Amino acid sequence: MSTQALNSWSRSSAEIPIKQVSQNIWEVPQDYQPGMKVPARIYADEDLLAKMRTDRTIQQCVNVTHLNGIYKYAITMPDGHEGYGFPIGGVAATDYDEGLISPGGVGYDINCIRGSSLVLSDYGYRRPISSMSLNWKSQRVGCIEEQTRFGETDLVQFMEQKPSRRVYRLRTLTGHEIFATEDHPFLTPTGMVELGKLGKSRVAVFPFEGVDYVEPTEFIIADRSNIRSLSVPGNPRQIVNELEKRNLLPLTSTSEKLPVLLKLMGFILGDGTLVFTSRSPQAWFYGDKEDLEEVRSDVKKLGFNPSRIYHRIRDHKIETKYGKYQFKHDEYSFVVRARSFITLLFALGVPLGNKSKQAYSLPAWLFNLRKWQKRLFLSTLFGAELSAPATLTGHGYNFCMPQLGQNKNEAGSDSGAKLLSEIAALIEDFDVKAQVTRPEENVHKGIDGHTNRFRLLVSTEPANLIRFWSMIGYEYNKRKAFLANVAVHYLRLKQRVLGEKPIAARIAITQKISVGSSNDTYSEPDTRYSAEGPPALSLSVTGSRVGSYFPKFDEFLPAATEGLGSSGAVWDEVVSIEKVDNFNENVFDLTTASDAHNFIANGFVVSNCGVRLIRTNLTEDQVRPVLPRLVDTIFNFIPSGLGSRGQIKLSPIELDKAVTDGLDWAVDN
């Protein structure tokens, strides 16, 4: 299919030229689009044709004309309307030798979620699935790959329709909630299970929520004049040309590549350095080997070539006021030597050289970005420099203060406090409380003299930690991101047990499960975390203490993530599944390019919409003798078509009358 045909997906059919062949027969000529192999024909009167023009029905018919081996015409019948490939009511014949077989050309039943469901993107923002209709092809969303790691995926389909199945509201123990059709699958310990069949089960949730997407207000961050005004080695004109060639100049708040630059800026401020000499421009990145592969991938997205990852064992000798220390460290790193790359980062506010020996602050333009953009910068800085989630020694129920340290030599001490105060101001936008400590003097004695240490400390109030780890979190550090997700889930569960949310902690937590009709309910107390829990154990709700039966974080982690690897997903308990009566909204779904075929909506790991196919290694000679029996068996277990059951049952005589009387019969009955 031609590029033009692929790019036409989002357009309506209103602008497509159509000529009338005869009464009720219309045609889109073959020369309308490069790559069309036959004309597109539409069988409709003028009223039906006008309705087809309001959506993508005719455009989808045109798309079909690009298929290999298509014979004579792509056809849309009078009942045609927008589908998910072909238009519904679309017909095409393909040549036996040159053509193809399409298992889902016209479309297929889709299982959907409510339009307000928030889908997590690859950049950590969330947006209602219904808002993705116009630009879904440019979006990437988060997913769980092989059920063991977090990943990102392109989208290959966006779907919207009136629900063809009953809609239910699903709620979990830690407060996740979603509206979905009864056939929408959710990830469980036994795989994907349809909502209507979940019962009292566990489902996978992703505690990181991110922040709401808001369209940026456009302003210039860097342009030619900024680059040319810098005192750096090299030819300014050549540097500008290299950046413009990669669509990095002019750089605005709406530039497509700004999110990647924000991530790289945050990381290099934490675990990197820019070195700029006339002979050897270098941008060094340090970190875990697996995490550095992700950083390298982002460098490539900007159009630059990073080096391979280097490894060496380093011997360290450090003298502090507490004593002398010596240790070995496995160091992984890579370098980017593109002069234009380093110049751009410098222009954006990343300092050159040793950061501990100079004064610098965050660039002013960073504070004018949207919250989701600020988060990208902060999350990679924290991935590089902020401490990982950990509990207090001897107190496995409570977490240490996340802290970010900043070392400055004595001459630049004031700038260290200022920088951390600016970071604290940024995270305050997320309603996260943090404070900057007074400097700890003479912490370390190096070749440049004594070093003072400043710390940014994040408040350990549970609600504050939940906001911090679920909205900002960590990027470019899989271990920290994984621990933060589990910690958020742990704290939410702990809050419920302690009664910080409107659930009584002194009585059993009641789980209400509704399956099938709204009358099919049952209640059963869950005593694992209640006062009537295991014998000889009781719940204390004084202050912020929990009973000894409540697991410590290190004990909680393996069970909460069993079978989910380090993906960041955790198991949550279903507490209710309730039928929603009079649901009159459209429902939506996505199809992802990833083989994982899932995405994250309202925190749930849900299956995407797709076509289920059968493949076999059997030959035609082996299959053909049993083909009739095989087809009957498949149709017996896998209903096909656009619906496996109807709401109205008619006898043959009643069916004849319905067909004969048409609308009058429908109104009367």
Packed helices 339-348 and 258-271: angle between N→C axes, nearest 10 degrees: 90
Packed helices 339-348 and 236-245: angle between N→C axes, nearest 10 degrees: 90
Which tens digits make up the pLDDT trace of 440-494? 765 566 566 677 888 999 999 999 999 999 999 999 999 999 999 999 999 999 9
* Residue spans of beta strands (DSSP E) within 100-166: 113-114, 118-120, 125-128, 140-145, 149-161
Separation CA 130–CA 267 (nearest Å)? 33
Lowest mean per-residue pLDDT among 29-33, 60-64, 104-108, 580-584: 104-108
The structural domains of the chain, ordered by start, are 3-94 (no CATH), 113-214+570-607 (2.170.16.10), 620-661 (no CATH)
Q: Is 191 helix (H, G, I), strand (E, B) or coil?
A: strand
pLDDT recorded at residue 461: 97
The better pLDDT of the pair 32, 329 is held by 32
Which tens digits make up the pLDDT trace of 584-610? 999 999 989 888 889 999 999 999 876
Separation CA 120–CA 601 (nearest Å)? 6
pLDDT band at 105 (very low <50, low <70, confident <90, very high): low
Instruction: Name every residue whose Cβ is closer than 8 Å to that of residue 428 and which is 6 or more positions away in sequence.
Output: 434
pLDDT recorded at residue 6: 37
Which tens digits make up the pLDDT trace of 175-223? 999 999 999 999 999 999 999 999 888 999 999 999 999 999 999 999 9
pLDDT recorded at residue 546: 60
> Which residue in the block uniquely carries the two structure tokens 């991938």?
297
Angstrom distances, CA of residue 134 to CA of 16, 157, 258 = 19, 12, 21
Helices within 328-442 (DSSP H only) = 339-348, 371-385, 413-428
pLDDT recorded at residue 638: 57
Lowest mean per-residue pLDDT among 248-262, 612-626, 651-665: 651-665
pLDDT of 330 strictly over 80: yes
- Helices first, then strands: H and E counts in the chain: 17, 34
Separation CA 423–CA 400 (nearest Å)? 19
- Per-residue H/E/C for 583-651: CCCCEEEEEECCCCCEEEECCEEEECCCCCCCCCCCCHHHHHHHHHHHHHHHHHHCCCCCCCCCCCCCC
pLDDT band at 637 (very low <50, low <70, confident <90, very high): low
Q: Which of 467, 470, 466, 465 is nearest to 481 (CA)?
A: 470
Which tens digits make up the pLDDT trace of 361-378? 999 999 999 999 999 999
Residue pair 302/309 in contact by the 8 Å Cβ criterion: no
Separation CA 434–CA 421 (nearest Å)? 9
Separation CA 115–CA 492 (nearest Å)? 26
Q: Which of 302, 300, 295 is nearest to 244 (CA)?
A: 302
φ, ψ at 592 (rounded to 5°): -100, 155
Helix (H), strand (E) at residue 167: strand 167-172
The better pLDDT of the pair 347, 497 is held by 347
Average pLDDT over residues 554-568: 96
> Which residue in the block uniquely carries the two structure tokens 């297929």?
108
605: its two tokens: 């790991």
pLDDT of 511 strictly over 90: no
Identify the bridge partners of residue 160 per DSSP, sorted by sequence position.
Answer: 588
Lowest mean per-residue pLDDT among 57-66, 122-131, 322-331, 416-425: 322-331
Q: Which of 505, 509, 511, 575 is nearest to 546 (CA)?
A: 505
For the purposes of burial, counting CB atoms within 10 Å of the CB of 565, is it exposed (0-12), middle (13-18) or buried (19 or more)?
middle
Residue pair 106/85 in contact by the 8 Å Cβ criterion: yes
* Residue spans of beta strands (DSSP E) within 176-309: 177-181, 185-188, 191-194, 202-205, 211-212, 220-222, 251-252, 272-275, 282-286
> Which residue in the block uniquely carries the two structure tokens 């679920």?
470
% of the chain at pLDDT higher than 70:
82
- Quick one: CA torsion of 264, 267, 272, 274, rounded to 10 degrees? 40
The better pLDDT of the pair 504, 426 is held by 426
> Which residue in the block uniquely carries the two structure tokens 């980017």?
336
- For 51-95, give the DSSP string: HHHTTTHHHHHHHHTTSTTEEEEEEEEEEEE--SSSPEEEEEEE-
Angstrom distances, CA of residue 424 to CA of 343, 417, 433 = 27, 10, 8
What sign does the CA torsion over 357, 361, 366, 372 have?
positive
pLDDT recorded at residue 109: 54
